[in-house]
Amino acid sequence: MNEAREIALSILMDIETSGTFSNIALNKGLKKNQFIEKKERAFVTRLCEGVTEYKITLDYIINQFSKTKLNKCKPMIRCILRMGVYQIMYMDSVPDRAACNEMVSLAKKHGFGNLSGFVNGVLRNISRNKECINYPDEDNDTIKYLSVKYSMPEWLVEKLNKWYGEEKTRLIMEASFAERPTSVRVNLLKTTADELARMMQEDGVKVEKGNYDEAALLISEYDFIKKVPGFKKGLFTVQDESSISAVRACNIKPGDYVVDVCSAPGGKSTAAIEMLGRNGSILSMDVAGDKLDLIEENIERILRDVENDIDISINCADASKFIPELENKADVLIADIPCSGLGIIGRKNDIKYKLTEEGIKELLELQKSILDNVKRYVKSGATMLISTCTINPDENEGNVEWFLKNNPDFSLVSSRLFIQGIDKCDGFFYAVLKKN
């Protein structure tokens, strides 16, 4: 596993020094080393995801046993120590001696031979004393305890506790570490859920029915999503059930004109197209021009070999900027607005470290700006969907309350909040509004 540890270190350094999101850094690192064995690939993934998920916990442990605090160490040494401690604390398949020796070797290999003794001393001390680590007192300092236990910034633990209480907060944080199957939306224009499930199972994929939508399947025990039977033929699209439910609640009908203003990577746009059936129109827009190809690719894949008269446009556009020709045109307006992402921490495990209270305040202003603009695209009697992948009440119920107060010509049809760890899906919120 020497090569695997070397690859993991390069990925973690990309995250540490360049601020690259962990999923992007991992995908990039694995693609660069695509010919390594499956076992090594799994080891790299487990180590990188684990070190990222448990960073606060790992740093807390290291600082107990190191005279030099981690924030004073070189980035390379920080990454090496975290890798070593993660293997010691959480990877039973790795002997402690191997974890220590390999991390010392990595330090020497990368020009830190003078610090190899320091690395060795810290890791072996932790290995000898891992059963008696002094964690924060759960009763006297609950916030600190939960922060260290679940590797969550203290300010965020306080927010969750304020919004949902301690019991639900624990469930939410536990869910971020839980293994969950992948939710996929069956393309009912091409197949049925039962037929697709049978095809996948014949290939060894584990398949369960969805919990909230008849077009959803929950799959696991596969290597790459693009190699799962039916993907290339456009028989399914990866999309969480909560998001499927949001689009379903819009009651999209054949012939509708749908405008999706923050559409990348295209999950809601493709769901809308499937619900349009074989005729209608959709405009799929996103400010991230580099993601438009992905939207186009996903749409092309689901409609391949399907006879239809759906008019499809894909544009690069800022949802907060008015487009006059869209005024009063949409039968269904989908606004999946940029958000803090607190509902998908389990899938993007470094979101919790990048968020700040000031950043969320800025997001709230952007969200209001977008909603205040795109409301003008909704025709009289038509539908507007507001959705987020966060569980922050200010970004969800708060925004809907603000919007309805300032736009009395709209009324609330339905809304739903999914909370990870309580519901069997991602954390997600949606509200369906109607323009009167």
Let me know: does 247 contact 271? Beta carbons within 8 Å: yes
Distance CA 424, CA 171 (A): 12
| Strand 182-186 relative to strand 236-238, pairing | antiparallel
Q: What are phi and psi of 336, to 5 degrees?
A: -90, 85
As given in the structure block, the two tokens for residue 58 are: 């790992």
The pairing of beta strand 182-186 with beta strand 216-220: antiparallel
Nearest to 38 by CA among 224, 178, 182, 227: 224
250 is catalytic: no
> How far apart are alpha carbons 111 and 341 in whole angstroms?
38
Residue tagged active-site, from 48, 100, 339, 389: 389
SS3 297: helix
- What span, in angstroms and rounded, lies between the C-alpha atoms of 344 and 178? 12
Chain centroid offset of residue 155 CA: 20
What is the enclosing helix (H) or strand (E) of 204? none
For the beta carbon of residue 118, count every other beta carbon within 10 angstroms: 18
362's enclosing H/E stretch is helix 357-374
Residue type, 166: E
- List C-alpha distances in Å: 65 to 50, 57, 229, 404: 20, 13, 49, 54
Q: Say which residues have a Cβ less than 8 Å from residue 340's Cβ, sequence separation at least 6.
A: 351, 355, 359, 360, 363, 390, 392, 395
What gap in Å lies between CA 130 and CA 65, rounded to an integer?
A: 10
CA 239 – CA 217 distance, rounded (Å): 10
Q: Which residues are the active-site residues?
A: 389
